[in-house]
Amino acid sequence: MHGNHWSRFCVAIVIPFIALADHGGDKKGDSGNNSGNRPFVSSILGSIPGLVVGGVPSGGAPWTIDTGRASLSPNGKLNVEVRGLVLTTGAPPNLVGTTGSVQMVAASLVCGGSGGTVAASTDGVPIGTTGDADIDANLSLPATCMAPVVLVRVFVSTAVPGSQLGPFIAVTGFNKSGNSGDDNDQQ
């Protein structure tokens, strides 16, 4: 009887730890260690001049965004949505609140964080005068992509193929304001 009591005690202690270790696939509490079987999802921020991510420079003027989100599934399905991606204070005053000369954007996946390299890019899509664009594409992904970053880049359709991708004007990340992920005004 004494041994049976000990077994119940061990079960009562061990079961809650197993439950914590296997949270049932609800995507809560995985601390980013998801074995590559869950999508990468992030909010998007407007860029500031002077940055380089994955060998790609940021645009020459600051950009802000009302809302933005990027998601990339392990099978390569990329969805990028930006709303209100426009030039902000620091750009020429007559261009603040507009997309300036930018008429199209594309997305690039960088693996290896800011010092990484571009692994794949999309074709260009139109961006509205109010800074709204949706990019839906299927990318050919590398076997492993540590520290993924998605860049929203200027796309120049009239440029020679292979040189149509320009600087980035928005990037995945978060700001310290603590907003729920999509209100990312640059400050």
Tell me the pLDDT tens digit for each residue of 95-138. 999 999 999 999 999 999 999 999 999 999 999 999 999 999 99
Task: Please indicate whether residue 71 or residue 176 has the higher confidence score (pLDDT).
Answer: 71
Place of tokens 């079960």: 11
HEC secondary structure over 106-151: EEEEEECHHHCEEEEECCCEECCCCCCEEEEEECCCCCCCCCCEEE
For the segment 5-25, what is each residue's pLDDT rounded down to a tens digit? 433 333 333 333 223 333 334
Pairwise CA distance, residues 80 & 117, whole Å: 19
Q: Show me where the domains of the chain are located.
A: 33-172
Residue-level pLDDT at 175: 83
Residue 67 has pLDDT above 50, yes or no: yes
Whether residue 3 has pLDDT greater than 70: no
User: pLDDT grade, residue 187 (50/70/90)?
Assistant: very low
State the fold for domain 33-172: Immunoglobulin-like (2.60.40)
For tokens 């969805």, the residue is 79
What local confidence, expressed as pLDDT, does residue 77 receive? Answer: 97
Quick one: pLDDT at residue 112?
95
Q: What is the pLDDT of residues 27-56, one digit of tens each?
A: 444 444 545 578 999 999 999 999 999 999
Per-residue model confidence as pLDDT tens digits over 146-185: 999 999 999 999 999 989 999 999 999 988 775 434 443 4
Q: What's the pLDDT score for residue 36?
A: 56
